[in-house]
Structure 1
Amino acid sequence: MFNMAPKKTALKKSLGETTMLKRSVSTRAKKNSDVKLVDESSKRKAVSPLKQLSKRSAFGDITNDADLSKKITTNKKDSKKNVETISHVVKKNLKESENGNKAVMPHKKTGRSNIPTFPPKVQMAKANIKPEKVHPSSVSKPTCDKTEVLTSVRVKSPDSTDNELYLTAVEELGSSSKKLTTKDEERKKEPLPPPGVEDFDAENMGDPVQVSEYAMDIFSYLKEREAKFVIDNYMERQTSINTAMRALLVDWLVEIQENFELNHETLYLAVKLTDIYLSKVTVSKETLQLVGAAAIFIASKYDERMAPMLEEMLYVCDGAYDKKELIRMEINILNKVGFELGIPLSYRFLRRYARCSKVTLPVLTLARYILELSLMEYTFVSESDSKLAAAALLLALKMKEISGWTKTLQYYSGYSLEEIKDLVFKLNDMLKMKPKEALSTVRNKYSHKIFFEVAKEPVLAEVNL
């Protein structure tokens, strides 16, 4: 059984201490009852009581449902009968229309006619016209091209005279249509990469999935859009939450992403939507988890092929909110972000840089680990996503003792070593911090063999750039 929900969460509050969220974020206390802490040792994967959840395939398990198969077979038989009935009525109407009689199509339930009658003047071609027998030797081959043959076809209007003819759409194009040029001639001539830079897009020009013709333009456009989503130091305006509570919320979102098997882009978009909303609205600590849940729900609908259900999102919140509250928060977030969901994400930039520089998968995974850890650190909220991705990749290269910032990386990222080195130092300082027990989801995730155990990679004492 695939367990969809992360563990229960609770609030932790004590006198003289800053209000903090327990492991993976808080849930609101039930009315007239105290909030109980959850023992970390009793971590479990919850099973939704709403339904027996299982791992879903792309098209569902239709063939194994016997009752559904019977219904489909029955529907096919019924539809076949309906087609035969309609065909019989249509044939009858056509015969009556040839004789000038009124054709009627009976209504399915009431028997009333709801189909207009055929005009008496419309005659079926095969009813009155008998084709003449023509000897094959008397037929000459056409001398015109395909365009001229198509344009010679005329369609006669039912209500028109012999002199009024409709023209086909092909005739409007004319026989002298412009010949298509080659693919290289159609493409806009772009400047070649400077010497020493590998032309990654040219190498993959034959692969349509890579969209190499537009890759540079796409990522240049994403970098331009970053200025529209700059997040300021909003914690100064928040009175009920702090950076530690935000870190716990992000840790909880990572756990949801892992349990629901969502794309990493969904996680990054959810964190971005949360930060944008918090930068514009002051929220209470009881509402913080609702903001995160609605954000990842929106991101799932935007980026996933099969997004989680509303009931599943309510279940992972441990019953802290109801359906109306989650839907209302969805509406609020979308209004505050102006329904702009095409936000540039550091994860997308990282994949682009890694592919262009042809780094190995363990190096890319290490850079992803660094980047995912930075999601929980509030100090990186205001940083540019493209620059943060470049710095994470450079730090991963240094940790793996691979060559540093090459000309290829500088060309495709648009950043020089001087522009990103300060950010590399900050990321390395983040790795050197003592791990917090309450924020262990990312480290546990990347300690698995599937992710090459990159979380166990030794941290650099100093980064030599």
Structure 2
Amino acid sequence: MFNMAPKKTALKKSLGETTMLKRSVSTRAKKNSDVKLVDESSKRKAVSPLKQLSKRSAFGDITNDADLSKKIATNKKDSKKNVETISHVVKKNLKESENGNKAVMPQKKTGRSNIPTFPPKVQMAKANIKPEKVHPSSVSKPTCDKTEVLTSVRVKSPDSTDNELYLTAVEELKKLTTKDEERKKEPLPPPGVEDFDAENMSDPVQVSEYAMDIFSYLKEREAKFVIDNYMERQTSINTAMRALLVDWLVEIQENFELNHETLYLAVKLTDIYLSKVTVSKETLQLVGAAAIFIASKYDERMAPMLEEMLYVCDGAYDKKELIRMEINILNKVGFELGIPLSYRFLRRYARCSKVTLPVLTLARYILELSLMEYTFVSESDSKLAAAALLLALKMKEISGWTKTLQYYSGYSLEEIKDLVFKLNDMLKMKPKEALSTVRNKYSHKIFFEVAKEPVLAEVNL
């Protein structure tokens, strides 16, 4: 079982000397006497003394304060009295208005002035007017039918000129119908390609009608989040420290049982921030903690609490420092959190090609390992996901890059083969003891022990 509080870890500098960081990026927890060891075959969960002190609910506990409960009860009584007073005054005014007297409405007393609860000029009198008898023949019949009434309702057109600012409802309906017909005329997948979206069109959860447009839009947004070789501008940190930080983030994701999208978004936010700001080695772990805290708020149903994030940092930072770093990261990324992630592209490609879950898990293992490698930081997420899936198919000896995968990914074999070779070279590297979290994670039976899959000596494409 992984403990949450990490221990101090020695990092090697590029010159070869070993130093102990004051606030180092840590990956393991201190021993806690309150934490009991459990069987490693069971699912690992985050163990925090904070969780043992109090329980948290999705919307917070707002009734545990006795004074607050009394205030709520008092407010209810006061509001009931106000309603009774107002209704009494209204009844009184109605009677006075029938006798010709002026109605006086209740006024609310405040510290500054008397503000009337209702407008003072409101006359709530009963009109003593008898309705006149009207002969049915004198009543004029409507001169328009339902269609004319519909066309008389006009809505503003977003793309209209000054001379034609509005469109009728019928014209707008015709315009929408034309768009639907144009969508139906879009080219179907070429021969040999399975129309995955058409097969799932009846399932509203799949949003098959918009799936291609969604992922095309995500691919277009990749150009907005390109990360350059920022490590050349960093003076205090190196690639080894970054790899250790990502390994620590993977451990946090496992302990808190966060979504994988949260992990990938946290790594992206960290890289984007480091590409714009020069940080010290003492601040690196703070950047990673704030990044995964932001990603949890964005993607999780129930994000970890601030105290829990400070706890996993082993007391290296305080509350103000974490909040300040969170603000700095959001400012540097322009509050743009809808970043295209390789994990989302991988899941889309795997579903369209209908690969099995063990193959998908192997591709996820390859992608997660690539998070620690700085050489893949500048790569396109959609292309990286395609290369990881192709390498997993080759390792399982199932198939190659089919027409279906080429159609839904938008990449040909020539475009991703170099990236496949790089990923395979990464798998052939000797594992490091300090960076073993991902391999230990995917060596579990829950993940089909894909980390134990034999690595290919050469990839034949």
Structure 1: how far apart are the matches of 2:159 and 2:378? 69
* CA deviation map 1:52-89 (0-9, x unaligned): 36786655688999999999788766655554444444
Structure 2: how far apart are the matches of 1:120 and 1:72? 31
* CA deviation map 1:15-51 (0-9, x unaligned): 9525477999249999999999999999998755556
Please report how far the alpha carbon of residue 258 of structure 1 lies from its aligned counterpart in structure 2 after TM superposition: 1.8
Please report how far the alpha carbon of residue 262 of structure 1 lies from its aligned counterpart in structure 2 after TM superposition: 2.0
Check conservation: 1:27, 1:320, Cα contact below 8 A.
Answer: no
Please report how far the alpha carbon of residue 360 of structure 1 lies from its aligned counterpart in structure 2 after TM superposition: 1.7
Distance 1:55 1:317, change over 3 A: same
Check conservation: 1:27, 1:317, Cα contact below 8 A.
Answer: no
Check conservation: 2:106, 2:117, Cα contact below 8 A.
Answer: no
Check conservation: 2:342, 2:381, Cα contact below 8 A.
Answer: yes
Structure 2: how far apart are the matches of 1:48 and 1:407? 49
3-state SS of the aligned residue for 2:187? coil
Check conservation: 1:98, 1:123, Cα contact below 8 A.
Answer: no
Please report how far the alpha carbon of residue 290 of structure 1 lies from its aligned counterpart in structure 2 after TM superposition: 0.8
Check conservation: 2:4, 2:28, Cα contact below 8 A.
Answer: no
Structure 1: how far apart are the matches of 2:309 and 2:163? 67
Check conservation: 2:108, 2:116, Cα contact below 8 A.
Answer: no
Structure 1: how far apart are the matches of 2:383 and 2:314? 37
Check conservation: 1:249, 1:289, Cα contact below 8 A.
Answer: yes
Structure 2: how far apart are the matches of 1:169 and 1:272? 45
3-state SS of the aligned residue for 1:108? strand
Please report how far the alpha carbon of residue 306 of structure 1 lies from its aligned counterpart in structure 2 after TM superposition: 2.7
Structure 2: how far apart are the matches of 1:434 and 1:390? 24
Q: Does 1:307 align with 2:303?
A: yes
Check conservation: 1:226, 1:384, Cα contact below 8 A.
Answer: yes
Structure 2: how far apart are the matches of 1:163 and 1:172? 17
Check conservation: 1:387, 1:420, Cα contact below 8 A.
Answer: yes
Structure 1: how far apart are the matches of 2:245 and 2:322? 16
Please report how far the alpha carbon of residue 224 of structure 1 lies from its aligned counterpart in structure 2 after TM superposition: 1.9
* CA deviation map 1:149-176 (0-9, x unaligned): 9999999999999999999999999xxx
Structure 2: how far apart are the matches of 1:226 and 1:157? 32
Distance 1:198 1:23, change over 3 A: farther
Segment of structure 1 superposing worse, 198-207 or 406-415: 198-207
Check conservation: 1:294, 1:326, Cα contact below 8 A.
Answer: yes
* CA deviation map 1:224-255 (0-9, x unaligned): 22222222222222221111111110011111
Segment of structure 1 superposing worse, 56-65 or 231-240: 56-65
Q: Does 1:123 align with 2:123?
A: yes
Check conservation: 2:443, 2:450, Cα contact below 8 A.
Answer: yes
Check conservation: 2:98, 2:126, Cα contact below 8 A.
Answer: no
Please report how far the alpha carbon of residue 207 of structure 1 lies from its aligned counterpart in structure 2 after TM superposition: 2.6
Check conservation: 1:346, 1:386, Cα contact below 8 A.
Answer: yes
Please report how far the alpha carbon of residue 446 of structure 1 lies from its aligned counterpart in structure 2 after TM superposition: 1.9
Q: Which residue of 1 aligns with 2:212?
A: 216
Check conservation: 2:262, 2:295, Cα contact below 8 A.
Answer: yes
Distance 1:33 1:442, change over 3 A: closer
Q: What is the 5 A alignment of 1:82-231? A: 82-93=82-93, 103-104=103-104, 106=106, 110=110, 116=116, 127-128=127-128, 181=177, 184-185=180-181, 187=183, 189-231=185-227
Distance 1:355 1:165, change over 3 A: closer
Structure 1: how far apart are the matches of 2:239 and 2:36? 23
Distance 1:333 1:185, change over 3 A: same
Segment of structure 1 superposing worse, 407-416 or 51-60: 51-60
Structure 1 portions without partners, runs of 5+ = none
Please report how far the alpha carbon of residue 285 of structure 1 lies from its aligned counterpart in structure 2 after TM superposition: 0.8
Please report how far the alpha carbon of residue 390 of structure 1 lies from its aligned counterpart in structure 2 after TM superposition: 0.2
Distance 1:289 1:135, change over 3 A: same
Structure 2: how far apart are the matches of 1:126 and 1:231? 74
Q: Which residue of 1 aligns with 2:69?
A: 69
Structure 1: how far apart are the matches of 2:161 and 2:460? 88
* CA deviation map 1:108-154 (0-9, x unaligned): 66599856587898666965356799999999999976688999999
Q: Which residue of 1 aligns with 2:41?
A: 41
Structure 2: how far apart are the matches of 1:148 and 1:183? 24
Q: TM-score, normalised by structure 2?
A: 0.77
Distance 1:289 1:181, change over 3 A: same
Distance 1:263 1:127, change over 3 A: farther
3-state SS of the aligned residue for 1:410? helix
Please report how far the alpha carbon of residue 202 of structure 1 lies from its aligned counterpart in structure 2 after TM superposition: 1.9
Check conservation: 2:360, 2:389, Cα contact below 8 A.
Answer: yes
Q: Could you tell me which of 230, 233, 240 is aligned with 1:234?
A: 230
Structure 2: how far apart are the matches of 1:30 and 1:58? 29
Q: Does 1:246 align with 2:242?
A: yes
Distance 1:238 1:83, change over 3 A: same
Distance 1:153 1:136, change over 3 A: farther
Q: TM-score, normalised by structure 1?
A: 0.76
Segment of structure 1 superposing worse, 4-13 or 307-316: 4-13
Distance 1:90 1:232, change over 3 A: same
Please report how far the alpha carbon of residue 410 of structure 1 lies from its aligned counterpart in structure 2 after TM superposition: 0.3
* CA deviation map 1:287-346 (0-9, x unaligned): 110111111122222222332222222222111112222222222222322332222111
Distance 1:153 1:366, change over 3 A: closer
* CA deviation map 1:380-435 (0-9, x unaligned): 11111111000111111112221111101001111111111111121112122222
- RMSD over aligned Cα atoms: 7.5
3-state SS of the aligned residue for 1:314? helix
Check conservation: 1:369, 1:442, Cα contact below 8 A.
Answer: yes
Segment of structure 1 superposing worse, 437-446 or 118-127: 118-127
Segment of structure 1 superposing worse, 123-132 or 274-283: 123-132
Please report how far the alpha carbon of residue 216 of structure 1 lies from its aligned counterpart in structure 2 after TM superposition: 1.6
Check conservation: 1:197, 1:407, Cα contact below 8 A.
Answer: yes
Structure 2: how far apart are the matches of 1:163 and 1:293? 56
Q: What is the 5 A alignment of 1:326-405? A: 326-405=322-401
Check conservation: 1:24, 1:438, Cα contact below 8 A.
Answer: no
Check conservation: 2:153, 2:169, Cα contact below 8 A.
Answer: no
Distance 1:233 1:384, change over 3 A: same
Distance 1:14 1:412, change over 3 A: closer
Structure 2: how far apart are the matches of 1:162 and 1:119? 40
Segment of structure 1 superposing worse, 158-167 or 101-110: 158-167
Please report how far the alpha carbon of residue 260 of structure 1 lies from its aligned counterpart in structure 2 after TM superposition: 2.1
Distance 1:211 1:327, change over 3 A: same
Please report how far the alpha carbon of residue 215 of structure 1 lies from its aligned counterpart in structure 2 after TM superposition: 1.9
Segment of structure 1 superposing worse, 249-258 or 182-191: 182-191
Distance 1:369 1:43, change over 3 A: closer
Distance 1:197 1:111, change over 3 A: same
Distance 1:115 1:318, change over 3 A: same
Check conservation: 1:243, 1:378, Cα contact below 8 A.
Answer: yes
Q: Which residue of 2 aligns with 1:257?
A: 253
Please report how far the alpha carbon of residue 103 of structure 1 lies from its aligned counterpart in structure 2 after TM superposition: 4.8
